[in-house]
Structure 1
Amino acid sequence: MSVNHLDRPKSLTARAFDRLLESITDGEIAYGAMLSEKAVAETFGTSKTPIREAFFQLQSLGLVEIQPQRGCYVPYPTLDKVRELCELRIELECYALRLSMQRDKKKLLKTLSKTFAQMEAMRDQYRHETYHKLDQDFHKAFFVACGNTLLIEVYGSIDPRIQALRANFSSPNEQLFDISRNEHAAIVQAIADDDIDAATRTIHDHISRVRDIYSDGIQQLKQTDSTLAGL
């Protein structure tokens, strides 16, 4: 029996890429970090070649910038980049939701209801990191039932940047959690009521609010950097 190539162990590059991607999207490697090929290779117990290749893959996702003679930098997003990302996210999520409601509303509603219940439990237990991961799953559910693989691929290409923003700028603020909870509940209810306009309107308002939080976070970082530079 021949062994399917998909069953083979991941390459060193793939493993390095996966570990670095997870570290960036969960905030362990934060914005502003400088990564050295040598240091990362020593940490992972490998040569610099797979690390270099992993850096190039991360750069293609817009998560890092490779700076010759210096290393790999995790850049702070600009206000324009945040605006562009959120504008695209609104369009993709609203369109995917429309398709999902048309093609498999039952599956969509079941998935969202389950995820929302888990989010409620994590919020009550103050497990904010898990809550944010479930928040990500909630929005991805729009694409699972949409029946369009290309749409899923497009969203997948920007999802790591969405996750990194969430990890770096979301905070355990109870007032914001209440607002987030109400917005997610409204989306689930609108879908149950077959009210696509209400659902997409809530998505638009939700992502626009999140955009403003991220933008404020970037502005605060700029002000802090300017203050430190003047010391």
Structure 2
Amino acid sequence: MSTETKLERPQSLTTTAKTHIREAIVAGEFSFGSQLSESVLANRLGVSKTPVREALLQLKHEGLVDVQPQSGTFVFQPTDDQVREICRFREVIETAALRFAVLRDSAALVRRLEETLTADDEVGAAGGSAAENAATHPQNHHDAAFHGAILDCSGNPYLQASYRLISDKINALRSRLDKDDTKTDLCHQTHSTIVALIRGGDIAEASKELSIHIRSTEESYIRASQCARGDAASHIVRQRRAGASTDRRAP
């Protein structure tokens, strides 16, 4: 064995639990506002409740879960105003990142963005809308890859850290988009336009197009959050009715 070989430290159970719970929330497996049971999660992951509890506390600090004393732990449930605030914040960060990325290396930015467009074309050729594929494989969501590339190419760690404050929430909203939403179907076309503007050196227009793009998807995200909240409320009602029915049948 080479003396330079380094063994990777295994992830802690808390980190593993946190990753799995986060992915389930982002992918839409857990509805907005739904209650998370430590026991159920522990059984599902094959661990004790301690790492699950620690994972949920960490996710609380990241804004993905809401821990309510004497009530339980719930998946975050964004209001319409909160969705708007997330999108406005996103617009500020992404347009600033675009300018930094162009100043740093415009050619490298164009290459990265074109790679995401090529991947998007391959998904389209395989069948299904971008939103449909995202719901199945959120990690391969090419809209997220396109916008993430802008942040990566900015080379600014402070902008990147700021974006991470909302990236999971944005991805959670993306995974809940209606596959028939016309705004989401236009994403690839808009991305192509932005790349063409950057390639042509019209950075002001590219930044303007990016802002318009983010604002145009705001209402789609609001509709997605409203539908998700409605689904969660219906689920709670069904649970309560089932509980009441069980109580009436009990001897």
Alignment TM-score, normalising by the size of structure 2 = 0.82
Q: CA-to-partner distance for each residue in 1:42-69, whole Å, 9 max, x for gaps?
A: 1111111110110011111111101223
Aligned to 1:44: 45
Are 2:169 and 1:161 aligned?
Answer: yes
Q: CA-to-partner distance for each residue in 1:90-136, whole Å, 9 max, x for gaps?
A: 01000001000010111111010011111122123216225861110
Please, which runs of 5 or more residues in structure 2 have no aligned partner?
238-251
C-alpha displacement at 1:162, in angstroms?
Answer: 0.7
The structure-2 alpha-carbon separation of the partners of 1:163 and 1:194, relative to structure 1 and needing over 3 Å to count, comes to: same
Aligned to 1:217: 224
Paired amino acid for 1:182: Q
Distance in 2 between residues matched to 1:76 and 1:178, nearest whole Å: 25
Aligned to 1:192: 199
Distance in 2 between residues matched to 1:2 and 1:101, nearest whole Å: 38
Distance in 2 between residues matched to 1:27 and 1:223, nearest whole Å: 14
Paired amino acid for 1:203: L
Contact 2:113 2:146 survives alignment (8 Å) = yes
The structure-2 alpha-carbon separation of the partners of 1:149 and 1:196, relative to structure 1 and needing over 3 Å to count, comes to: same
Paired amino acid for 1:126: G
Contact 1:37 1:48 survives alignment (8 Å) = yes
Distance in 2 between residues matched to 1:49 and 1:223, nearest whole Å: 32
Distance in 1 between residues matched to 2:228 and 2:113, nearest whole Å: 34
CA RMSD of aligned residues (A): 2.4
C-alpha displacement at 1:220, in angstroms?
Answer: 5.0
Q: Secondary structure of the equivalent of 2:204?
A: helix
C-alpha displacement at 1:178, in angstroms?
Answer: 3.6
Count, aligned residues: 226
Are 2:147 and 1:146 aligned?
Answer: no
Paired amino acid for 2:196: Q
Distance in 2 between residues matched to 1:48 and 1:26, nearest whole Å: 23
Alignment TM-score, normalising by the size of structure 1 = 0.88
Distance in 2 between residues matched to 1:67 and 1:61, nearest whole Å: 15
Structure whose alpha-carbon radius of gyration is higher:
2
Q: Using the aligned pairs only, state the percent identity.
A: 34
